[in-house]
Copies of this chain bind each other. A is one copy, B any other.
Amino acid sequence: MTAQTEKAIARILVIGAGFGGLTAATKLAQQGNVQVTVIDRHSYQLFAPLLYQVATGGLPEDDIAYPVRSAIPGVDFIRGDVVKVSMEANNVRLEDGRVLDFDQLVFAVGSGGTTFGIPGVQENALQMKDLYQARAIRNRLLQTYEDVETGLKPKESLRVVVAGGGPTGVEIAGAVAELQKSMHREFGKVAQHAAVTLVEAGPRLLPSFAEKSSAHAKSELEELGVHVMVDSAVDRMYPGDVHLKSGEVLPAGTIIWAAGVAAPAEWNVLGETDRSNRLMVSDTLRLQPNVWVLGDMAHVVGAGDSPLPMVASVAMQQGRYVAASIEKILKGEEPKPFSYKDKGQMATIGRRRAVVEMPNGIKLHGTIAWFAWLGLHVFYLAGGRNRISVMADWFWNYIFWGVGPKRPVID
């Protein structure tokens, strides 16, 4: 290989195998003269929108974790933890000491949960941002029935509090309510003590949705048996109860924290960040000409001056944009600014219950919204095998809803 051809191959490093990173890597790999390497601390792509179903026993964890190498054949993949990014030296350092050089860097490590410093949240609440946490929630929910029935725990332990009224909180609260209903067959003696409360600090659920959708989500959740409390900020948590700012105390054997999402704070060394630790990037999603930031860790202003939401569709559009922009740069052209195309938003509440808001203003509720949600999630699920497996599981759940605990405790 001559020096000339070596120079012509651009080394592109993609950090993060989430929706944004993998979309970028897939599109980049289709270009010539690039060598794309993806780095992630896990060797699978996590389909995070369905984490709540793993947490409530609806799906096995394998169904939402797809091996990165299978998702994007032809791309190099390194399993590792990036501990340092040097924008001057154009390299990144992994925890195990390896240093990888890049010509172009695509930085897309996503976000994690944040407790806003509320006392006791870290210690007493379960979060739901990765598979281990989802597994922990599932095991806690199911094992509590065992423990209450055999007298190891008081019956109040069967109460669940979900903090956070955004789409994640709404989805997990609805799924917990349905799980609790399905436990009556196996735990007839104690199942009636189970309950779920959803607390939201603001005046309504799903604050990013229209008021009508918020009201619909609330009434649907209440029909499922969820106790919905709005204007109810969490003050502190202890093992076994949640204290609200109003002074009210909610006993709970399981507390699920779905209230806060932020980018990892460690990367604020790279530039200015907002209060969610998101890096402020240029309108071409860059920190410098060859360092691109996208997805949940990028602060990008959308229509109406508010930053774009931290959701998969934003990350995927940005992934496609960054791949196309790098292609332009490698041809010596300048990229146009990123512009976001609103794809609407949706949240599922339970079986045949969902809210969908389309960008043209059409709002769907109920069964038709649920089927739209179902179809979209199956469509975006990576891997034909996972698609089939998820559809088989959902079909089964749909037919035999309420028949029993969906999954065993495997702790």
- Min CB distance A96 to B, Å, is 7
Contact of A392 among B69, B98, B150, B392 (CB under 8 A): B392
Which of A1-9, A22-30, A58-66, A299-307 forms contacts with chain B?
A58-66
A44 touches B408 (CB 8 A): yes
Chain B residues near A408 (CB-CB < 8 A)? 42-44, 62, 65-67
**Interface check A131, CB cutoff 8 A:** yes
Contact of A131 among B131, B389, B410 (CB under 8 A): B410
B43 touches A146 (CB 8 A): yes
- Among residues 57 to 99 in chain A, which have CB atoms less than 8 Å away from a CB atom of chain B? 60-63, 65-67, 69-70, 73, 77-80, 96, 98
- With both beta carbons as reference points, the residue of chain B lying nearest to A383 in the complex is identified as B404
A150 touches B67 (CB 8 A): no
**Interface check A193, CB cutoff 8 A:** no
Interface residues of A (CB under 8 A from B): 42-44, 60-63, 65-67, 69-70, 73, 77-80, 96, 98, 131, 142-143, 146, 150, 152, 185-187, 384-385, 388-389, 392-393, 396, 400, 403-410
B405 touches A70 (CB 8 A): yes
Chain B residues near A63 (CB-CB < 8 A)? 60
Docked pose: A405 CA to B61 CA in angstroms = 16
Docked pose: A410 CA to B406 CA in angstroms = 20
Docked pose: A132 CA to B338 CA in angstroms = 47
A62 touches B65 (CB 8 A): no
A44 touches B409 (CB 8 A): yes
- With both beta carbons as reference points, the residue of chain B lying nearest to A135 in the complex is identified as B410
The count of identical subunits is 2
Docked pose: A387 CA to B159 CA in angstroms = 32
- Min CB distance A274 to B, Å, is 33
- With both beta carbons as reference points, the residue of chain B lying nearest to A59 in the complex is identified as B62
Docked pose: A178 CA to B69 CA in angstroms = 18
B388 touches A396 (CB 8 A): yes
Chain B residues near A385 (CB-CB < 8 A)? 393, 396, 400, 406
Docked pose: A142 CA to B43 CA in angstroms = 10
- Min CB distance A410 to B, Å, is 6
Contact of A60 among B61, B70, B77, B409 (CB under 8 A): B61
B69 touches A405 (CB 8 A): yes
- Min CB distance A83 to B, Å, is 16
A404 touches B67 (CB 8 A): yes
Docked pose: A152 CA to B62 CA in angstroms = 26
- With both beta carbons as reference points, the residue of chain B lying nearest to A78 in the complex is identified as B150
A70 touches B404 (CB 8 A): yes
Given A44-B410, A62-B407, A392 and B400 contact (CB-CB distance below 8 Å): no
Chain B residues near A409 (CB-CB < 8 A)? 42-44, 79
Docked pose: A153 CA to B393 CA in angstroms = 38
Could you show 14 A-B contacts with beta carbons less than 8 Å apart? A43-B408, A43-B409, A60-B62, A62-B407, A65-B410, A66-B408, A70-B186, A70-B404, A73-B185, A78-B150, A98-B150, A384-B396, A385-B406, A389-B389
Docked pose: A79 CA to B405 CA in angstroms = 15
Docked pose: A343 CA to B216 CA in angstroms = 59
- Min CB distance A345 to B, Å, is 28
Given contacts A77-B146, A389-B389, 4 further A-B contacts (CB under 8 A): A44-B408, A67-B186, A69-B186, A392-B392
- With both beta carbons as reference points, the residue of chain B lying nearest to A94 in the complex is identified as B150
